[in-house]
Structure 1
Amino acid sequence: MAGRSGRGLDWLNFFMSNVQTGFGPFIAVYLTAHAWTELEIGLALSVGAFVTMAMQVPAGAMVDATPNKRFAAALALLAIAASALLLALLPETLPVMISEVLHGVASCILGPSIAAISLALVGRQGLGERLGRNARYAAVGSGVAAGVLGAAGTWLSGASVFWLTAALCIPSLIALAAIRPDDLHPPRPEEREGGALRGLGTLLRSRGVLVFALCCGLFTLSNAAMLPLAGTQVTRHAGDEANLIIAACIIAPQLIMAMIAPGIGRLAQRRGRRLALLIGFAALPARGLLLMLVDNPAWLILVQALDGISAAGLGVLLPLLAADLTRGTNRFNLCLGLFGLAVGIGGTLSTTLAGLAAEWFGPGTAFAMLAGIGLLSVAVVWLAMPETREASG
């Protein structure tokens, strides 16, 4: 029974990543081909990031309060499909902005919904293992989708990326339907107390929550613009092959992430959360500096593989730390929303700042700036992040 639901959750993560892969770097390539400038692309991507930032905390509270997490996830998937169709049909300023808004709202509901489904399926004790499994299936899904979408963008059309993205929502919904409601265990009545926005003040008084929110913001401020910025440079130099190169830049880190994510989860369980965070965060400044130095597509793909280490670290640890920091309450998704807000702030600023830096001072300066911010995030983890792992025994 639970095995069927577990497999449904596996495939939901796989196909959800298929769907989300169509956004981000492929949008940068698509809009560049339609004569959008780096600054215009940065602003468009920032619209979605800003909406995500504004909606994260309310969405977290809503998912905490909603008994039917599967329905919330289904609505989010349908909104993402609509967003992709809008991009495919009308790559003009207003439709693109509307698409980014739709995608931003849907994404900040979908992530917490899947995290909530995972927690309800396995409980807090099994969450670390489950999150590692989620990350592995998501990474494989992103890699497969990147190859398929990159080939479609190269040999069919740029718009085909978004037609396929919308179509991939169908198997996502089928996988979601395979998760049996009877296998999902809601919070105990005592944990429901304080699960709404009134718990926000309590979370904001937690040192661990505040420090990790800062870490998330700095991480995304450094990370979010790296591949889109590299994508615009590749498009100008590689022409029609740009989609394939970007696809390879997505596939490489996903392969790394698929290999190491379960190990990161086990390391966090056995040796503590800070060590796993440091490993993930340390790859970020190294990647930024190397992107500043390389322009050969083959080297670019190798450098981008480092993103798999960072993605595994943050992808597994963010929900795991949210669970650690909300033990005994029903504030898990509210805490996820706070961390998502920090990620949204970082993402909003990252693409715009990097676009401005690239346009005014050149891409090398933009990559150096992003690497410096990544180094600061490592310092915050090292110096200020408390250990949240529950003492064994």
Structure 2
Amino acid sequence: MAAERSRRGLDWLNFFVADVQTGFGPFVAVYLTTQAWTEVQIGFALSLGTLTAMISQVPAGALVDAVRDKRRTAMLALLAIAMAAILLAALPSTLPVLLSEVLHGFASCVLTPSIAAISLALVGRARLGERLGRNTRFAALGGAIAAGVMGLVGTYLSPAAVFWLTAALTVPSLICLSSIRPDDLSRQVAAARAEQQAKGRGLVDLLKDRGILVFAACCALFTLSNAAMLPLAGTAVTRQSGDEASLIIAASIVVPQLVVVAISPSVGWLAEARGRRLVLLAGFSMLPLRGALLALVDAPIGLVFVQALDGISAATLNVMLPLIAADLTRGTNRFNLCMGLFGLAVGIGGTISTSLAGAVASWISPGVAFAMLGVIGLLNVLLVWLAMPETREELPEGAVSPA
């Protein structure tokens, strides 16, 4: 019963953490615009936050690995995010805003691996895929609801109210975190430490692992293909639809989130039952298909239906990234460091994607840009097929796959 309470606490922790993180999305640009910031100033602030998040991925992962109490690192990260939100809401001048972006960027890099480590400690490696599927489901649901609520709050109260609400939502997040009992984590943690002592694999050996290098390349190619698709499609929709563009873009964001909510647990179960490569191939194959369809579809409503494919690929990456990191660091204390490496690869791909696609769309045409993004997605599928090893641990003879 106590363990069930901890699992429920982790469910709702993911839900409220997604709420908190949603406040630092596009709402920052809207808010700073109302404070008479120029586009250059806003761009610099947002870029500083992005750069901080990218360079913090690896050190933040190493930090979480080094700290035994992952609940404490998650708590401190949530408090730091609350402080970042309060700085934005109360002091929208240059130095506090820049400090807020840096604080949020680093804290987010600590919070994500902390929750993944808590998940691993709560259920163990054998059921981690299913647990990550539940994490992704609750996070997607929280993010979708928060986007709507914060949009209403920002419109009918004030843009600053979004960040006061963000800070307030850290309170239920902390309550959910406190409901995860340390005793429910200790058994798996003790087993993991015994395994680490038995195998003793070092960091240098870990960084030479072929699977880590291949999957890091997959992560970079994924966001290189994926990140620019919706912004590029949104530009075309805005030109065609005028006042209805915001509604169509909103639907294009919400629909994939609903798909993630629906399929994430199944993605985790399938990865445990049938292996990681099968799930990666199925999920990543949506990228070239989506790129091809976006190059061909002109009707704005068609964008919404095509975007449903984004939910499949997003659910795949969200579940598989921490799951494969756990596989590839089995027997070591480098799980969160590995997640940081993968997160860095994701960030690099996403940063290049929008600039590259925008340049191709301007110099040649949007259709060619979509085709290019689809080809990159196809290269990602081929990389998984030809080079990615199966990382699921082979079950002993006579054992039953997790159900």
Q: After TM superposition, is the score higher than 0.5?
A: yes
Alignment-derived partner of residue 278 in structure 1: 281
Please list the CA deviations of residues 266-324 of structure 1 after superposition, one character each: whole Å capped at 9, or x if unmatched: 21112211110111111123333444455655333322222110111111111111111
Paired amino acid for 1:300? L
Which residue pairs with 2:258 in the alignment? 255
**Structure 1 residues 305-384: aligned runs within 5 Å:** 305-357=308-360, 366-384=369-387
Structure 2 unaligned residues grouped into runs of 5+ = 398-403
**Aligned in 2, Cα 1:364/1:141: closer, same or farther, shift over 3 Å?**
same
Residue type at the aligned position of 1:259: A
CA contact (8 A) 2:49 2:101 kept: yes
Q: Which stretch of structure 1 is more off in the superposition, 9-18 or 366-375?
A: 366-375
Asked whether the equivalents of residues 202 and 332 of structure 2 are also in contact (C-alpha less than 8 Å), the reply is no
Counterpart residue identity of residue 248, structure 1: A
In 2 relative to 1, CA 277–15 (structure 1 residues): closer, same or farther, beyond 3 Å? Answer: same
Corresponding residue of 2:269 = 266
Question: Structure 1 residue 148 and structure 2 residue 143: aligned?
Answer: no
* Closer/same/farther in 2, CA of residues 255 and 90 from structure 1, 3 Å limit: same
**d(CA) in 2 for partners of 1:29 and 1:146?**
14
Amino acid at match of 1:270: A
Question: Do the aligned partners of 1:135 and 1:316 also contact (CA within 8 Å) in 2?
Answer: yes
Task: State the superposition RMSD in angstroms.
Answer: 3.3
Q: Is the 8 A contact 1:129 1:266 kept in 2?
A: yes
Aligned to 1:219: 222
Output the CA distance in 2 between the equivalents of 1:357 and 1:84. 36
* Structure 1 CA distance for aligned equivalents of residues 357 and 85 of structure 2: 25
Q: Output one character per residue of 1:222-271: Cα deviation in whole Å (capped at 9) or x when no partner.
A: 22333445556666777776665444332211111111111111211122
Which residue identity is paired with 2:324? L
Partner deviation per Cα, 1:94-146 (whole Å, 9 max, x = no partner):
66544432222111111100000011111111211211111111121122122
Q: Which moved more, 1:206-215 or 1:341-350?
A: 341-350
CA-to-aligned-CA distance 1:337-375 (integer Å, 9 cap, x gap): 221121122233234444555566665554444333222
The question of 1:60 aligning with 2:88 is answered no
Match in the other structure for 2:123: 122
Paired amino acid for 1:308: G
Please tell me whether the aligned partners of residues 49 and 347 of structure 1 are also in contact (alpha carbons under 8 angstroms).
Answer: no
Is the alpha carbon distance of 1:290 and 1:154 closer, same or farther for their aligned partners in structure 2, counting shifts above 3 Å? farther
Find the residue that maps to 1:306 and give its secondary structure.
Answer: helix
Match in the other structure for 2:302:
299
User: How many residue pairs are counted as aligned between the two chains?
Assistant: 391
Residue of structure 2 in register with 1:16 after alignment: 17
Query: After alignment, is 229-238 or 368-377 more displaced?
Result: 229-238
Q: Which residue of 1 aligns with 2:49?
A: 48
Residues 187 and 231 from structure 1, CA distance in 2 versus in 1: closer, same or farther, beyond 3 angstroms?
farther
1:140-178 Cα deviation digits (max 9, x unpaired): 112212222233345555544444333322211111111
Distance 2:246 2:161 in 1: 12
| Aligned counterparts of 2:90 and 2:52: Cα–Cα separation in 1 | 22
- 1:372–1:342: structure 2 CA closer, same or farther, 3 Å change rule? same
Identity of aligned residues (%): 68
Q: Any stretches of 5+ residues in structure 1 without a counterpart? A: none
> 1:91 and 1:251, CA in 2 relative to 1: closer, same or farther beyond 3 A?
farther
- Aligned mates of 2:234, 2:158 — CA distance in 1: 17
The separation in 2 between residues aligned to 1:180 and 1:252, in whole angstroms, is 35
Select the structure with the greater relative contact order (CA < 8 A; seq sep ≥ 6).
1
Partner-residue secondary structure (3-state), 2:121: helix
Aligned-partner Cα distance in 1 for 2:17–2:346: 19
Cα distance, 1:102–1:149 mapped onto 2, change above 3 Å: same
Which of 204, 207, 210 is the equivalent residue of 1:204?
207
Q: Is the 8 A contact 1:32 1:232 kept in 2?
A: no
Change (3 A) 1:187 1:28: farther
Question: Which amino acid counterpart does residue 224 of structure 1 have in structure 2?
Answer: A
| Alignment TM-score, normalising by the size of structure 2 | 0.84
Give the TM-score, by structure 1 length: 0.86
